[in-house]
Structure 1
Amino acid sequence: MRDLEQDRRYANTLARGLKILRAFRPSDNGLGNLEISERTGIPRSTVSRLTFTLCALGYLTHGRHFDKYRLGPAALALGNIASAAFGFVTVASPIMQALANKVNALVGVAIQDDGNMLIVKTWRPEGSGTIWLDVGYRMPVMTSSSGIAYLGALSREEREKLETLLSVEAAEMCEEVWDYHRSQLRRLGYACVCEDVRYSRAINAVATPFRPSEIGEPVSIFCGANVDDLSNARIHEQVGPELVQAVDKLKALTGHAVSAVASA
């Protein structure tokens, strides 16, 4: 992002408007201008102008005078159109639901969005009463299993593009992490983050990349659960290999039998 902002073709106002839309989470019961400003880092006066415009275009709604902003019908329509483009999810559903039931863990799809991994689809074990991560949850690229599986699948050119979206600190270590997890993916077929660098000590996960034809970059398909239910030993003995087998089935059914890891 740092380099993009210096590009004369970069529309900063548009980028800020989209950043506001990204600030909303499934658990929110509306956001005020101050909350949006705090989440995005955009000055409150600028947020006020942008939320007014987004409301006028239908991307946000705003009720009574003291009510908060919520995503509007235009955003919902755009989201539905985008979801329809992920045709592989329909094919994946029975495979991933069976996997979730077999390993008793959450299975999901995460995509890279503005330098984070965003969960866009989940399958829960049938009959599970546990609180799980859900659609809309964001995870850091460098310290989540979904993130490193995505990163390890990238080509050098794709990785350099990702670096522009990361913090300076993350970008500096990106090449080393990329190189390590490319090797891990080629050796094991899956990737997982070590406990000492994992962004959440309460959740453990394993992930593998998949390159759908509908979009121009890989997605991560992951299995995750509380650390008490998903130890590192269980990841390597059962869950990781089962995840790879499930994604191999998906590749066969969608005609993407080649490795999701870029050659260079």
Structure 2
Amino acid sequence: MQSIISPMNIDSGLVAIGRAAKILGVSIDTLRRWDKSAKFTSVRIGVGGNRYYRRSDLDLFMNDWFAVAKRWAMDAVGYEPSPEYYCRTRDVFQARLENFQSSLVKNQEPNLASLISAIVGEIGNNSFDHNLGNWPDILGIYFAYSLSEKRIVLADRGLGILTTLKKVKTDLINHKEALKVAFTETVSGRFPESRGNGLKFVRNIVTQKSFGLFFQTGDAFLNLDANNADVKIEETSEFMRGCLAVVKY
């Protein structure tokens, strides 16, 4: 529920909607829409109800990359996310992936750096491979990571796994089936399969090295780790057209 306060009580901890939009890398209309749907609520000032945002809420929102990526992937209207995390092209993604791998080598995980980067690269490149020339609105991917939390988040607003797999497996009828196929079967004629990797490669590394993976497309998702090596697909009421992945190591 929104807070409504007097203009006399505006303090330095509040940020006007225009400034908040720039900080988050979204449009003012997007913030208004999030406010109305209670995804990210504002503080309303005065009789006119001008929208302001608490600096603490903005900081929390920016630091919760999973929430930011999920909202971006699921929002009804597309927009370009913050440039710090937005990879509009594959070249931008590859450059940031190389920086990420270098940071892993220098800071904490030299022995696992190549495997972690391979997982992230496979997921990110899948987004570009399967949406090339067919992005529904905003092309590219969201890519953020925390070395201290050992967590990586990737998301796209692409066609989703069901739509791309149906081109070669026309009998697929829902996202749950498509997600299981993507992680368990080699699909002949599917471009990334020629590399011999795909999401099956991701699954093998995650379960063998005790990493963790959350992956959602459409209304289907899975969680993988060393203790949950079997691909068990679950369904959710939260629908996204593209894909969302969280890797933990």
Report the TM-score, using the length of structure 1 for normalisation.
Answer: 0.26
